Chains A and B, each alone.
Chain A
Amino acid sequence: MATLTTDQVRHIAKLARLTLSDAEVKKFTTELTSILEYVDRLQKVDTKNIEPLKNVTGQQNSWREDAVTTDVIDPDALLECSALPIVDRQIKTPSAHG
């Protein structure tokens, strides 16, 4: 389980939207494999009947009154953070269809 192939690394990189050169694929394959080999020790821990931890402090739902709040960030100021063109208060991105 602990060994990653270069094809797996290419696949993971694609899922993560990262372009890797062949040299990077080789480097990351070695590095990620060494981390996974170390992490493999977790398989030795007896976790029978142990529930995965879901919430570290056990805090329950946090409610607030269902009322309009005005303490929000100005949407135009948020748009200004983008380097892409703004058209009709929307960010114009490259086409999704190529």
Chain B
Amino acid sequence: MINSLTISQAHKKLKAKEISASELTQSCIDRIEAVDEKLNAVVHRNFDRALEHAKEIDAKGKFDHPLTGIPYLAKDVFCEEGVQTTACSNILQKKPPFASAPQASQKASDGRDYVPPFNSTTTKRLNAVGAISLGKTNTDEFTMGASTENSCYGVTRNPWDTERVAGGSSGGSASAVAADECIFALGTDTGGSIRQPAGFCGCTGLRTTYGRTSRYGVMSMASSLDTIGGLTKNVEDYATFLSAIAGQDPKDATTANIPVPDYGKALTGDIKGLKIGLPKEYFIEGIDSEVEAAVREATKTLEGLGATIKEISLPHTQYAIATYYVIISSEISSNMARYDGIRFGHTEDAENLIEHYFNARSSGFGDEVKRRIMLGTFALSAGYYDAYYRQSQKVRALIQQDFINAFKDVDAIVSPVSPTPAFTVGAHENDLLAMYLEDVLTAPQALAGVPALSVPCGFSKTNLPIGLQIMGQQWGEETVLKVGHAYESATDWNTKKPVV
């Protein structure tokens, strides 16, 4: 089935006219229709437009760019002109969530589904080279979560075991890529939201250096930490994808004026002499023994390829989650202020303006969003700012310094992505901190603004994927991808497929 192809395999076949973009698109659509009832990975379907787009591309018949004619799914926070985009939140749609009432009977106080009149820079760049958008994937509401359970559309299931979560918040994208519902998918990573679901579902996912990819047109969670990326079936595909979306954007002033390399050229397979650090603080109590064993085995593979492994220390690791939650909550309380029930989405009847704000926000936001807004409002309020927000930004500086010091001695750092393989749906339902601690190994890189890759490095006895994390210096995506590619070429974990 051609929906299971990688980007590079599909590109070769499209170029040789062995398959058409229409056939490839139809094959992904068929797969979504066959298995998504079990997974709940896709929340908005854009199939008619995708098939039309594919037909246009076939008519042109030119497949010079490696992404031309390649179907993809986007996390439900990427604005796309004319395509419903809701961040899996009730606040960006009419009520009830699955309203079937005819348009004519709709009144203003029912709100309106948000259909953006513009494109994110990422979807614009992808569409410009002829990649085909199939629709939107499930996420925790406004990307706030680590399991895709906090979605108004319900939980996304892991294709390796549908009793388990796909991870989050880019869980829909990871589940869809692992189940071959698309060739690649877009995601966002604020504190692990690409890497953790990639690890849980056995995909490849990279968090880029902050400012490497444009955030324009992607609904914000925490602006100083949000990064844009995706999920692919291998590292080679990721290099192709990243080369197409990275680079400065006049519409996002935090993107850097640093040239984008051809990431594919970095994939030489040669990592001889490379120094790789193993941080002792990442092998703490609570790390599953099978996860630890798989990661230690991976370091042996890297050694076998000529790299040297050295134990290092990132001493402030234990403070990362506390720092991360104060900073993101503060930024969330500010970013979520725009959802006031006036310019878009959900509204409620109200006597006056202030009541309108209260009504729209209280019925539109889910509990996790409310919790973070309130935590941030508190952390930024008079009398508490110094103790919480300012102290967190100081600790963040120390965490960044840990990485700067470590990279004086090593070229890359490896660790597990998550302490355990995918957990069962509902496992953290009554334990907020347990859910927050899912990010314990992925928040530090986010705070330091460094790139980190997740690649599959084994399976648990229960046949669940395990992820290897490879970190690099700021703007060091080439090194990270090179190590990931060399590892992947020496193993076959990334080629395993779940039976859905």
Contacts and interface: CB of A to CB of B under 8 A. Distances in A.
A41 B322 CA distance: 7
Contacts of A54: 393
Given A1-B387, A19-B362, A91-B342, A53 B393 contact: yes
Contacts of A4: 378
B112 A83 contact: yes
Given A32-B378, A54-B393, A57-B449, A84 B342 contact: yes
B388 interface: yes
B111 interface: yes
Given A50-B394, A83-B112, A95 B353 contact: yes
Interface residues of B, number: 77
Contact of A18 (B209, B370, B375): B370
A38 B325 CA distance: 10
Contacts of B391: 42-43, 45, 47
Contacts of A41: 318-319, 322
A23 interface: no
Interface stretch (B7-15, B128-136, B344-352): B344-352
B364 to A, nearest CB: 10
Contacts of B211: 57, 59
A91 B351 CA distance: 16
Q: Which of A17, A36, A52, A84 has the most B CB atoms < 10 Å from its CB?
A: A17
Contacts of B447: 56
Interface of B is mostly: helix
A32 B137 CA distance: 30
B388 A57 contact: no
A78 B117 contact: yes
Contacts of A82: 112, 342-344
Contact of A56 (B110, B356, B398, B448): B448
Nearest to B92: A81
B254 interface: yes
A36 B376 CA distance: 11
B108 interface: yes
A97 B255 CA distance: 42
B319 to A, nearest CB: 6
Interface in B266-325: 316, 318-319, 321-323, 325
B258 to A, nearest CB: 9
Given A1-B387, A16-B377, A28 B371 contact: yes
A96 interface: yes
Interface string B378-395: 100100000110111111
Interface residues on chain A, size class: 35 or more
Nearest to B217: A73
A19 B365 CA distance: 11
Interface in B455-475: 474
A81 B114 contact: yes
B99 interface: no
A53 B371 contact: no
Q: Which of A50, A52, A83, A84 has the most B CB atoms < 10 Å from its CB?
A: A83
B397 A42 contact: no
A82 B354 CA distance: 17
Contacts of A94: 350-353, 355-356
Interface string B390-407: 111111111010000000
Interface string A8-33: 11001101111110000000100110
B322 A38 contact: yes
Contacts of A31: 371, 432
A97 B361 contact: no
A59 B210 CA distance: 10
A70 interface: no
Q: Which of B333, B362, B371, B400 has the most A CB atoms < 10 Å from its CB?
A: B362
Contact of A83 (B318, B345, B374): B345
A68 interface: no
Contact of B319 (A1, A42, A56, A91): A42
A3 interface: no
A88 interface: no
A56 B352 contact: no
Contacts of B118: 73, 77
A50 B111 CA distance: 48
28 contacts: A9-B374, A15-B377, A16-B373, A16-B374, A18-B365, A18-B373, A19-B358, A34-B433, A35-B433, A38-B433, A39-B326, A41-B322, A42-B391, A51-B397, A52-B397, A53-B396, A53-B397, A57-B210, A57-B449, A73-B117, A82-B112, A82-B343, A83-B109, A83-B111, A93-B356, A94-B355, A96-B354, A97-B352
Interface of B: 94, 108-112, 114-118, 209-211, 224, 250, 253-257, 316, 318-319, 321-323, 325-326, 333, 340, 342-347, 350-359, 361-362, 365, 370-371, 373-375, 377-378, 381, 387-388, 390-398, 400, 432-433, 436, 447-449, 474
Ordered nearest first, which 8 A-B pairs have the shortest CB separation? A52-B393, A77-B117, A56-B449, A83-B112, A47-B394, A98-B352, A53-B397, A19-B362
